[in-house]
Structure 1
């Protein structure tokens, strides 16, 4: 009886081990190859770009759900030169570097500001656009200058260069505002909702976003723009650290668009003359 029981237990354990080993084998098959190498991108004829799809006019969804924007047009124009299709993937912007490191995307291309921290974590393309941080307030608030934001609630996007600027230059804004810290939002859309509801009295935001967004709002005259006195910024493409070949191809592609006039056409489409 003991011998039969022992044999039964051995067989039962064997049945348990088989599917576990099978699962290990399947996990190896699903491991992705290095996605951000130029060789792999060329071979697959596809590149995956991560973006915040609410960042107008750089990359956003229109009413029909289609992606549009300056960076959408620019990325497609660059990779069209190499016969490579561009797929866009919406990501949590505060996790953009992590998404790149985890190989779920090949590039970050969505109004990515060059900062010291990002230069350490990423390889960056040459800058292709200059941006300013500004503060948007409601005219009805009576706020007309930075000093008026004393003890007021101010918003910023989580993981944005604006949020970083608040910490890096505390004398400009951080030391003035309520609790000496901004209220962070996952998107500027949500921040505008709170601004309209007076839950915050100011919003630190990219000028390229604010100018386009406010221009297309029915109540655009309700807002006032205040200079933030933060340093000007430059946008670049975020590439996995050390991947210089992808950087070279992107830089060459943008320079070619500049030379043949296509970059000027894209600029005028989204920002006017």
Structure 2
């Protein structure tokens, strides 16, 4: 082979090698596929819903909005410490989820908008489950079976049912289902006064500014226990309302986890111990089966 032919052959080989290398450098690697169940929302489930429980665990805390003047569910003791049935139950559930519980007091009248604007993860404050509220948020399984009732002072013998409240001044909490029940069932009262907290309504009843208070039966029994002889329950139930934990509609994985732990606490007796501490009885016996 002549020198010219050798040179031409070498140049051709160099050209072919460069072309091959260029093609390899321009090829795009195949994207890595996520493992099954990782990084993909299950069919029909929004990414936000998938992330709810993971978000709470990543933050290391479950933030709950509550009314901190609502005994025995959540209130301040003489040392200004937050105590109550919901507090003990919530702290236990958070521990089982592997996170800490953070309680965030809020105005009850705006508690649902605050949840929806993500100021906290859940509403945990003896919240009655109603059809109207279910249009805006989801609820856990009921963890207390409740009712809206009427209480008056123990020495008031003239009020024995809703009909006896005609022309009377009645109090309840603003934004509560007690307010809804009073507006729906008590048409002839002289005035329905609303308060930011039930403690204020009870105080006004005690000093004679109110004739009666519409309140849930659990809270009413707490006041009867802590202030013996001061009040009595009128034998007239205005409405039956189970109590649940409020959760945003999209946070389905968090809802599932909370329901699982509530059921576990009822099954293993933890709920009963906490309930007996605050109510003197196991409230789970009254829950729908």
| TM-score category (smaller protein) | 0.7 to 0.9
| Displacement of 1:107 | 0.7
Counterpart of 1:183 in structure 2 is: 193
The match for 1:196 among 192, 206, 213 is 206
Q: Distance in 1 between matches of 2:213 and 2:240?
A: 17
Displacement of 1:43 in angstroms is 0.3
In structure 1, what is the equivalent of residue 170 of structure 2?
154
CA contact (8 A) 1:136 1:226 kept: yes
- One of 65, 70, 74 as aligned partner of 1:55: 70
- Equivalent positions of 1:230-241 (< 5 A) are 230-241=238-249
Matches within 5 A, 1:88-103: 88-103=103-118
What's the counterpart of residue 17 of structure 2? none
Counterpart position of 1:5? none
- In 1, Cα distance between equivalents of 2:207 and 2:134: 37
2:215 counterpart of 1:215:
no
Task: From the CA coordinates, give the structure whose radius of gyration is larger.
Answer: 2
Superposed CA deviations along residues 116-153 of structure 1, whole A, max 9, x for unmatched, are: 11100101111111012121111333323122211001
- Show structure 1 runs of 5+ residues with no match: 1-33
TM-score by length of 2: 0.76
Q: Deviations over 1:191-248 (max 9, x none)?
A: 122112222111001111111123112xx31322103322211000000122111110
How far apart, CA to CA, are the structure 2 residues paired with 1:123 and 1:71? 18
- Could you say which residue in structure 1 is the equivalent of 2:37? none
Bigger shift: 205-214 or 52-61?
205-214
- Is contact 2:224-2:230 (8 Å) kept? no
Q: TM-score, normalised by structure 1?
A: 0.81
Partner Cα distance (1:133, 1:111) in 2: 12
Alignment-derived partner of residue 26 in structure 1: none
Deviation for aligned residue 1:69: 0.8
SS in 1 for 2:278: helix
Alignment of 1:27-106 (within 5 A): 37-106=52-121
Structure 2 alignment gaps of length 5 or more:
1-47, 282-289
Aligned pairs, number = 232
